[in-house]
Amino acid sequence: MRRQIRPIIPTLIVAALIGLYTLATAQQLTNTLTLLFVAILISLFEETFFRGMLFQASQSTLGVGRAAVFTSILFSLTHLINLGHQTLSLTLLQLGFTFVLGLLLCLITAQTTSLLWPLLIHTVNDFFSMMEPPINLPGITTTSFQIIEIAVIILLILPILRQNHQWLS
């Protein structure tokens, strides 16, 4: 069990820091708790469907790597719905982000054989994304922050792939 958890510790630390920052900077507790509840519900549905059902079913025929890519593409494409309220460029960035996030969550699911950690990470991410005002760092735009998030997620994927390189074949 400890060997399975070790590669995802950096991901859990990043998720915890984001969650703690979000809670510490929250303006109104009632709104914050409502957003947390919504984030939990969304994450519960998406993780149960994409990682719990679709990924689990497809990895027996496709293998872990291909199943992770397949379900991550589908997970990402569901976010096209956001074109109704945001720009094309922001939606394309979101598709990239949700694709790499989906890959990370699939690999964690395969590594730990549990939805607990993907559910927690997904909830923290959704909670952070819904908070108002969003993160406000000097000189960092939404676009550049999203690109940084994508890079961080790719870096978090690497230790999991290093330990399970057979998933790439």
- Which pLDDT score is estimated for 137? 61
pLDDT at residue 2 is higher than 90: no
Stretch 162-168: mean pLDDT, rounded? Answer: 85
pLDDT at residue 142 is higher than 90: no
Q: What is the mean pLDDT of the chain?
A: 85
Q: Which amino acid is at 143?
A: T
Q: Do 162 and 13 touch, CB atoms closer than 8 A?
A: no
Q: What is the dihedral of CA 53, 56, 59, 65, to 10 degrees?
A: 100
pLDDT at residue 133 is higher than 60: no
- Which pLDDT score is estimated for 124? 84
Q: Quick check: pTM over 0.95?
A: no
Most confident residue range from 11-15, 81-85, 131-135: 81-85
Give pLDDT tens digits for 58-115.
Answer: 999 999 999 999 999 999 999 999 899 888 988 999 999 999 999 999 999 998 888 8
Poorest-confidence range of 49-63, 91-105, 127-141? 127-141
